[in-house]
């Protein structure tokens, strides 16, 4: 993709406004926190102090709107504390330009490294830089600085208190995530009726897993209907696929296929009912015709062999899901025991280790931290040197639009400039037409921030327009003339956006050259999942239940990383280096089929008292060795080789029913390995046939 096209595409994405579900009560609660802080500051102090404290209350409230499964009061308190520390340290160095620039460089670098902990940490860390740049211009003494820091921390405390006193749909996000997982499986069951090889997007299950992670304090207060349900959802998915697939389930045509379609339709209805019950905290309501489905089929039923076993297991799992959603089913304690999230104090050493792992030259997070540190200090020095006043707006605009990847940085840069232009234009018109006083300015500022909280998820341009109006109104409340703030903010915002974009162009972290590494990682993880399932057949007595589960999670994580890498690479103005877009698409299709093979076999894992399948152990061992060698070949641009795997498959021993079923799974795995090799060899880019 050329630079011109890349800029056009990212600019369009930044200006896009999306329709999304609004949460007016949550927005009102966040705006009320800002209003309380502004009102108290005006009552006890001056408009200037109220303006600075309002920035802190706004930032603390914004932190609670980020996508995080942590308790919202904890996020507000943590953000308020971080904002208070950053502003106080900034004031101590503000009187000495060199000292402040050094502090800004170090703090910005650490804020950039905070992305190693996740997007929420990175966004909150960027907010601390922005607030530091604004409020350090206000205090005149150390005691004043302490007072400002205390007021900003108080803003976080107010937001946390309001969340505790006025909870809105407590555990609602966790309910939605778990409900979405069951709803996604219901949709999967319907699609399997028409297409036995229909793909399944594991993102809802991954999101539900993230939502299920809680602290020990939260685990004691979590509603019962959120205990253990995700484990059931995870076990239902491979059984659905196994029942529908003609290779290991129901026959492709005939009465058996008709019966499988009936069971899949009934399963979809049950899963939808469970999803609604979890989302709205109500009992499961099933149609009368579906209740008969939960009875185990009689021996004379149409299904036979592995399809019959899959149907019986599906009925058992769906019955357990219904009972569990109604509160009468057992909780899966072992499934949630390893999902305990560390508390904030215990998170500090984990965060330090995560940052140390990213301290390498090729890390996108490290490069982002270097860019942010350089741009923040450069923007501050340029803004200070320009005869415009409010020079901190340039670095503030830079740090708020910068992200570790190209597309988001450029999209947000365009959106911020356009949103700023819209926001200051509207606010300017209001100021010019009404000439509001201090209290009216404060009221309009609270209204602006309420709109920002309400419309935050519709697009960055919309939220930035509200924030810009908020800033102009606050500065008007603090005594700044709107005729001075408008041109300054527009020009300096443009400067900050240009600096952020130029920094990525000069010191990029392109994803395109790393696509082969990402593909190799996904190959290893996906084949490792199938190998773990085969090892479960090889020695059922010694099989650990967590082994297959951990391999599946690794495969999902590698798949998600690959998808993100491809999406980022598609938006980059970089020529492909060794892996064309068509080859990446073909390899993705094959690896999805490879993961499906493991899922089909997982549905038939035997109990611990079952007879072992010795040939499966040898196949799994050779598969792991061949995949490790081929993954390195993929990184080096060489074709993968599967001769050793094919030799073991040709010499497969055993002719029992289970051994034939496992061998069939190994054959399907071999087919996907050959198709993967063909996908990387082919220059025409023809997609392999679906499995």
Cα distances (angstroms) measured from residue 623 to each of 278, 475, 543: 41, 66, 18
Residues facing 217 on adjacent strands = none
Phi-psi region of 329 (alpha: psi -120 to 50; beta: other; left: phi over 0): beta
CA 632 – CA 384 distance, rounded (Å) = 51
pLDDT score at 408? 86
The pLDDT value recorded for residue 526 is 94
Q: Which residues of the chain have pLDDT under 70?
A: 1, 70-71, 135-140, 225, 228, 292-301, 327-344, 389, 478-486, 576-578, 682-691
Indicate the pTM of the whole model.
0.83
CB atoms within 10 A of CB 540: 18
**How many CB atoms sit inside 10 A of residue 329's CB?**
19
CA gap 6, 3 in Å, rounded: 5
Chain Cα centroid distance, residue 458: 17
Q: Which two tokens stand for residue 406?
A: 């190209």
- Cα-Cα-Cα-Cα torsion 396, 398, 401, 403, nearest 10 degrees, comes to -120
Q: What is the pLDDT of residue 690?
A: 37
**Phi-psi region for residue 228, left (φ > 0), alpha (ψ -120 to 50) or beta?**
left
* Dist. CA 189–CA 241, nearest whole Å: 8
* 404 close to 364: Cβ distance less than 8 angstroms: yes
- pLDDT value at residue 154: 87
CA–CA separation, 17 and 247 (whole Å) = 45
User: How high is the pLDDT of residue 102?
Assistant: 93
Q: How many CB atoms lie within 10 A of CB 429?
A: 12
Token pair for residue 613? 């399948």
Q: Rg (Cα) of the chain, in Å, rounded?
A: 29
Residues 6 or more apart whose Cβ sits within 8 Å of residue 226:
171, 174, 175, 178, 212, 278
Question: What's the start-to-end Cα distance of the chain, in Å?
Answer: 32
Helices of type H across 196-284: 203-212, 216-221, 229-244, 255-280
Helix axes 97-113, 393-401, angle to 10 degrees: 10
Backbone angles phi, psi at 574, to 5 degrees: -130, 135
Distance from C-alpha of 661 to C-alpha of 667, rounded to nearest angstrom: 10
Closest C-alpha among 293, 290, 325, 292 to residue 311:
293
User: Tokens standing for 547?
Assistant: 């082994």
Residue 637's SS3 state is coil
Check residue 571 and report its DSSP letter: T
Tell which residue, 424, 369, 372, has the closest CA to residue 397.
Answer: 372
């Amino acid at each position: 993709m050329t630079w011109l096209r890349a800029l056009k595409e990212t600019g369009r994405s930044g200006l896009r406004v999306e329709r999304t579900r609004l949460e007016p009560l949550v927005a009102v609660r966040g705006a009320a926190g800002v209003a309380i802080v502004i009102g108290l500051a005006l009552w006890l102090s001056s408009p200037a102090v109220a303006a600075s404290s309002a920035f802190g209350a706004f930032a603390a409230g914004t932190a609670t709107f980020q996508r995080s499964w942590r308790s919202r009061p904890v996020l507000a308190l943590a953000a308020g504390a971080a904002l208070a520390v950053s502003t106080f340290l900034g004031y101590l160095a503000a009187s000495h330009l060199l000292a402040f620039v050094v502090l800004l460089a170090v703090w910005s670098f650490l804020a950039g490294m905070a992305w190693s902990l996740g997007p929420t940490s990175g966004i909150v860390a960027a907010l601390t830089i922005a607030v530091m740049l604004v409020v350090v211009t206000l205090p005149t003494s150390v005691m004043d600085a302490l007072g400002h820091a205390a007021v900003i921390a108080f803003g976080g405390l107010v937001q946390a208190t309001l969340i505790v006193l006025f909870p809105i749909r407590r555990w609602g996000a966790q309910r939605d995530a778990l409900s979405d997982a069951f709803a996604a499986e219901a949709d999967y069951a319907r699609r399997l009726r028409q297409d036995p090889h229909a793909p399944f997007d594991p993102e809802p299950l991954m999101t539900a897993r993230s939502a299920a992670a809680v602290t020990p304090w939260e685990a004691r207060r979590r509603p019962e209907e959120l205990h253990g349900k995700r484990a059931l959802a995870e076990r239902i998915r491979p059984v659905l696929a196994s029942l529908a697939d003609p290779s290991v389930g129901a026959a492709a045509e005939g009465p058996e296929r008709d019966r499988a379609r009936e069971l899949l339709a009934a399963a979809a209805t049950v899963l939808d009912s469970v999803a609604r019950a979890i989302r709205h905290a109500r009992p499961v309501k099933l149609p009368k015709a579906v209740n008969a489905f939960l009875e185990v089929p009689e021996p004379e039923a149409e299904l036979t062999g592995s399809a019959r076993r899959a149907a019986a297991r599906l009925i058992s799992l769906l019955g357990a899901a219904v009972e569990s959603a109604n509160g009468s089913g057992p909780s899966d304690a072992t499934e949630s025991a390893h999902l305990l999230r560390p508390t904030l104090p215990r998170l500090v050493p984990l965060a330090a280790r995560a940052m140390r792992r990213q301290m390498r030259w090729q890390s996108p997070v490290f490069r982002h931290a270097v860019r942010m540190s350089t741009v923040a200090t450069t923007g501050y020095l340029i803004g200070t040197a320009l005869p415009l006043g409010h020079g901190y707006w340039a670095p503030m605009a830079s740090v708020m639009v910068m992200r570790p990847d190209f597309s988001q940085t450029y999209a947000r840069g365009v959106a911020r400039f356009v949103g700023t232009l819209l926001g200051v234009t509207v606010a300017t018109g209001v100021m010019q037409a009404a000439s509001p006083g201090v209290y009216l300015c404060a009221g309009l500022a609270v209204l602006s921030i309420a709109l920002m909280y309400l419309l935050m998820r519709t697009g960055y341009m919309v939220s930035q327009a509200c924030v810009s109006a908020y800033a102009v109104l606050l500065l008007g409340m603090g005594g700044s003339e709107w005729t001075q703030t408008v041109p300054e903010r527009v020009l300096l915002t443009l400067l900050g956006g240009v600096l952020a974009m130029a920094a990525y162009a000069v010191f990029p972290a392109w994803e395109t050259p790393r696509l082969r590494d990402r593909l190799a990682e996904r190959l290893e993880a996906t084949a490792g999942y199938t190998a773990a399932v085969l090892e479960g057949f090889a020695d059922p007595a010694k099989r650990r239940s967590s082994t297959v589960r951990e391999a599946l999670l690794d495969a999902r994580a590698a798949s998600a990383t690959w998808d993100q890498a491809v999406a980022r690479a598609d938006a980059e103005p970089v020529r492909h280096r060794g892996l064309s877009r068509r080859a990446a698409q073909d390899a993705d299709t094959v690896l999805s089929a490879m993961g499906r093979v493991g899922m089909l076999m997982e549905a038939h894992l035997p109990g611990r008292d079952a007879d072992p399948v010795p040939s499966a152990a040898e196949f799994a061992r050779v598969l792991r060795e061949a995949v490790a060698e081929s993954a390195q070949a993929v990184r080096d641009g060489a074709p993968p080789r599967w001769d050793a795997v094919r030799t073991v498959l040709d010499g497969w021993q055993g002719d029992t029913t289970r051994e034939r079923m496992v061998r069939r799974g190994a054959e399907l795995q071999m087919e996907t390995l050959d198709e993967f090799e063909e996908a990387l060899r082919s220059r025409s880019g023809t997609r392999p046939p679906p499995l």
